[in-house]
Structure 1
Amino acid sequence: MSGAIRQVTVRGRVQGVGYRAWLEHRARGVQSLEGWVRNRRDGSVEALFAGPADVVADMIAACRRGPSSARVESVTEEPAGSDALNLRPPGERFSVLPTI
């Protein structure tokens, strides 16, 4: 896949407020985007976005706002490799993974 692959961690009031479901719905609405989202036991939400650089940047910008019920305190991002996409079940473009 060409383009950008970024791993994102969102901290704040982002669990128990529909953040993960909001992110999944938004990501599935973008045909050129692949990846996954999951909750982490530390209370953060982690996501991987892969696709055209502008699409990935738009998703990261959306993560900084989140749904109206969330309170995003910080979003960190870093480059990731295409092997991180293998965490998804086969055949899924965007997945919700189990909490780690």
Structure 2
Amino acid sequence: MSEDVRLVAWVRGRVQGVGFRWFTRARALEIGGLSGFALNLDDGRVQVVAEGTREACQKLLDWLQGGDTPGRVEGVTEIWDTPRGGYDGFAVR
């Protein structure tokens, strides 16, 4: 049985104004079983919070770190935690 986890990732680079949050939402929905959000931060980064199985969260993280994202990702910092719940699907904020 796979336990649920919480992934919080901060993506830096040219990731605002390029549809990054919408593509992140689409990828999360494509992976399935994920809830959370993608949010533009004032410092130019995008914060991604995803809750679901470790496998699904890892797939999303791999995508964030890969070269198939819109814009240009220069780096991703992530932390893993226990899920907090309270999300209705995967949102763009």
Deviation of the 1:4 alpha carbon: 1.6
Deviation of the 1:17 alpha carbon: 1.1
Aligned-residue RMSD, C-alpha = 1.6
Q: In structure 2, what is the equivalent of residue 95 of structure 1? A: 91
| Residue 75 (str. 1) matches residue 76 (str. 2) | yes
Deviation of the 1:31 alpha carbon: 2.6
* Unaligned segments of structure 1, at least 5 residues: none
Distance across 1 between alignment mates of 2:90 and 2:22:
12
Q: In structure 1, what is the equivalent of residue 64 of structure 2? A: 63
Paired residue secondary structure (1:61): helix
Q: TM-score, normalised by structure 2?
A: 0.85
What is the one-letter code of the residue matched to 2:90? F
What is the one-letter code of the residue matched to 1:93? G
Distance across 1 between alignment mates of 2:18 and 2:32:
25
* Unaligned segments of structure 2, at least 5 residues: none
Q: In structure 1, what is the equivalent of residue 52 of structure 2? A: 51
> Could you say which structure has the higher strand fraction?
2
Q: TM-score, normalised by structure 1?
A: 0.79
User: In terms of mean alpha carbon deviation, does 20-29 or 40-49 score higher?
Assistant: 20-29
Task: State the Cα deviation string for residues 18-71 of structure 1 (Å, max 9, x = none).
Answer: 11111011112233111111000100000111111111101001001252x411
How many residue pairs get matched? Answer: 90
Distance across 1 between alignment mates of 2:56 and 2:39:
20
Identity of aligned residues (%): 30
Q: In structure 2, what is the equivalent of residue 17 of structure 1? A: 18
Distance across 1 between alignment mates of 2:31 and 2:7:
16
